[in-house]
Amino acid sequence: MNAFQSLGRHLQDWSGDNRARAAIAETVARLAETAVQVSGLIAQGPMAGELHAVVGGNAAGDEQKELDLRAHALFVAALKSAPVAVLGSEESETALILQDDAPLAVAIDPLDGSSNIDTNVSIGTIFSILPMAGVGEGRGETVFQQAGSNQLAAGFVIYGPQTALVLTLGQGTHIFTLDRESSVFLLTCANVQIPKGRREYAINASNYRHWDEPVQAYVDDCISGAEGPRGENFNMRWIASLVAEAFRVLVRGGIFLYPRDNRPGYQHGRLRLVYEANPIAFVVEQAGGAATDGEHRILDLIPTELHQRVPLAFGSSDKVDRVARYHTDRHSIGERSPLFGRRSLFRT
């Protein structure tokens, strides 16, 4: 265990005597400490109460579970003692003002994947740290109307068989694993690079009939396997937990897709740009991958509201580039083999 650097030491080495970095480091530390509490709560399962019970609905239009609210309350309490001026959370309709003169803003999904709470599937926390400087007079929700490329740090915690913190401070992506004996996160994988050439894709195929043609074409090509345009066989994965999907992509490669579709409420995508897509995109890009809404780099988008939804595809850059090409150059769809462009397991 002594061979692994602690998160605290990592943050201290990175921040040094730089006051701006020290504020970021302190905020990451508060988030990590709270994640340890949430991890312990989740590990208790039913002994901690009916964590999966529906207790209401949030501003994003999703059901709120008991664990959603308990995690939200823990993170709010922790960040009140951090150098954070404004907190935007999935579980709060409007941004929360924590301090008047602090230099940072935090956007957070306190409990991602809450539909899986009662099934013992990995769930998590996603966070983004942004600067308050340069946002004019706005001290509330307007601070989140800046491109994801402005993020100072981002990451997620996955509460699974191991509790792991995936973090980027803009200098690579690193994985810290929770040592349960000491309640300390230890650096177990530095400078993660998403493997290339892996033949896996993750998407909810039950929605095939609702997708736009470029997404249908991409999945058709994967399904047609070695006999199709891609010339190789693919495996499909779908966990319905964004943090679990992202962790798998970081470790094993491949691509994750959650596209827009023509169902009511899904025309603009379903994931949230500010506190889901942006931090995941930052982590993925720092690991050598890419993230797109189909037509634009995720980190170039300018949010117009805290809970804005967006289509999202991320993973190995070659696969993400292909998805983007199918969206922006429809001729590339027509150039695919006609035998496999018209038929698949989903279309006859």
pLDDT for residue 338 is more than 70: no
Kindly state the average pLDDT of the residues 95-116: 94
pLDDT for residue 59 is more than 50: yes
Kindly state the average pLDDT of the residues 100-114: 95
pLDDT for residue 6 is more than 50: yes
Query: Using CA atoms, how far apart are residues 227 and 216, in angstroms rounded to an integer?
Result: 17
Is residue 257 within a helix (H) or strand (E), and if so which, with residue range? strand 255-258
Query: Using CA atoms, how far apart are residues 313 and 292, in angstroms rounded to an integer?
Result: 5
pLDDT in tens, 251-286: 999 999 999 999 999 999 999 999 999 999 999 999
Residue 7, C-beta contacts closer than 8 angstroms, at least 6 positions apart: 28, 29, 32, 165, 167, 176, 184, 185, 186, 187
Query: Using CA atoms, how far apart are residues 140 and 100, in angstroms rounded to an integer?
Result: 10
CA atoms within 13 A on the CB side of 109: 29
CATH topology of domain 200-341: D-Maltodextrin-Binding Protein; domain 2 (3.40.190)
Angle between helices 242-252 and 278-286 (to 10 degrees): 10
Residue 6, C-beta contacts closer than 8 angstroms, at least 6 positions apart: 184, 185, 186, 187
pLDDT for residue 346 is more than 50: no
pLDDT in tens, 179-192: 999 999 999 999 99
pLDDT for res 337: 55
Query: Using CA atoms, how far apart are residues 277 and 249, in angstroms rounded to an integer?
Result: 15
Please report, rounded to a whole number, the percentage of residues in the chain having pLDDT higher than 90. 81
Domain boundaries, the chain: 7-189, 200-341
* CA distance to 57, 107, 109, per residue, from 114 (Å): 12, 18, 11
In this structure, which amino acid lies at residue 50?
Answer: E
pLDDT for res 192: 98
Query: Using CA atoms, how far apart are residues 155 and 263, in angstroms rounded to an integer?
Result: 30
Is CATH 3.30.540.10 correct for 7-189?
yes
pLDDT for res 136: 55
pLDDT for residue 342 is more than 50: no
pLDDT for residue 159 is more than 70: yes
* CA distance to 69, 73, 155, 317, per residue, from 171 (Å): 32, 30, 13, 18
pLDDT for res 336: 67
Contact 140, 260 (CB under 8 A): no
pLDDT in tens, 10-25: 999 999 999 999 999 9
pLDDT for res 347: 38
Catalytic residue numbers read 62, 68, 90-91, 109, 111-112, 276
pLDDT for residue 35 is more than 70: yes
pLDDT in tens, 169-216: 999 999 999 999 999 999 999 999 999 888 999 999 999 999 999 999
Nearest to 160 by CA among 121, 109, 209: 121
Helix (H, G, I), strand (E, B) or coil at 69: helix
Of the candidate ranges 192-206, 212-226, 321-335, the one whose mean pLDDT is the lowest:
321-335
